[in-house]
Amino acid sequence: MSFGELTGVKMLAVLIVVAVLATGGLYFTLFKTQRDENDAARVKLQAKLKENAELEAFRPRLANVERELASLKQQLEIERRIVPDEKEVDNFMRMVDGEARKAGVEIRRYTSHPYGTKEFYTEVPFEMELDGPYYSMLGFFDRLGKLERIVNVSGLLVSSTSNPGGAKAKHTYQYAPSETVVATCLTTTYFSHDLDPGTPAGKPGPPAKK
């Protein structure tokens, strides 16, 4: 029997069966694939929403964390000025010379002593010989004590300009009439890293000259 010989009812039934089969085929092919993709996207979305919700709990703390970081950076900069991370010997000497000029004191000599390595810093000592008026000398050491950078003074010897040997001064100079005292001392500054390669601990650093 041909398709044209089918009655109206039978033809309708055939069309319904064909439609059902076509719909089933689409459901298990194209529609199912799309549904699986939608389900996977929904799972990812739920995971992302959960992650965002967890991160949202930290939002009020973000401003505090940023303030703490800014404070730590500021503290680090202050510490770097107090204990630099490089052995800037020339800058150290210029700084001390500047304070001496302000106080009215003459620095005659720097002599480098052996560096001392510690766990977190390096000691860089210099023996200094200087002269000037008595109160100017007091003002100079007061200035050193107030510097932002750490400078320790030890082994201070003071004598009159008429007897510089009493302070173990190495030379006698043409002192100005206002100068009354000669002094020698050990000034030590600090750096926050190890010695440069090739400079063993306990060995003198490069000679320092004015």
pLDDT in tens, 148-200: 888 899 999 999 999 999 999 988 889 999 999 999 999 998 887 644 434 44
Segment 58-65 shows an average pLDDT of 71
Residues 93-123: pLDDT tens digits?
888 999 999 999 999 999 989 988 888 788 8
Segment 36-51 shows an average pLDDT of 80
208 has pLDDT over 50 = no
Identify whether 78 is part of a domain. no
- 111 lies in the same domain as 31: no
- 109 lies in the same domain as 183: yes
Task: State the pTM of this model.
Answer: 0.56
Q: How many CB atoms lie within 10 A of CB 147?
A: 14
State the pLDDT confidence band at 81, using cuts at 50, 70 and 90. low
State the pLDDT confidence band at 83, using cuts at 50, 70 and 90. low
Q: Choose between 115 and 6: higher pLDDT.
A: 115
Identify whether 11 is part of a domain. yes
Domain count, the chain: 2
State the pLDDT confidence band at 5, using cuts at 50, 70 and 90. low
Query: In Å, how far are 101, 143, 187 from 160, measured between CA atoms?
Result: 20, 22, 21
Q: Closest by alpha carbon to 110, among 124, 123, 102, 121?
A: 124
The CATH number given to whatever domain includes residue 153 is 3.30.70.60
Q: Which two tokens stand for residue 74?
A: 């500021």
Identify whether 210 is part of a domain. no
- Strand runs labelled E in 101-168: 106-112, 116-117, 122-132, 151-160
The amino acid occupying position 102 is K
Distance from the Cα of residue 210 to its chain's centroid: 32
- 43 lies in the same domain as 115: no
* Residue-range definition of the domain harbouring residue 47: 3-56
203 has pLDDT over 50 = no
State the pLDDT confidence band at 42, using cuts at 50, 70 and 90. confident
Identify whether 183 is part of a domain. yes
- 105 lies in the same domain as 159: yes
- 18 lies in the same domain as 108: no
Report long-range pairs for 173-178 (Cβ below 8 Å, ≥24 apart): 173/106, 173/108, 173/131, 175/131, 178/133
Identify whether 187 is part of a domain. yes
Bridge partners, residue 127, by sequence:
111, 186
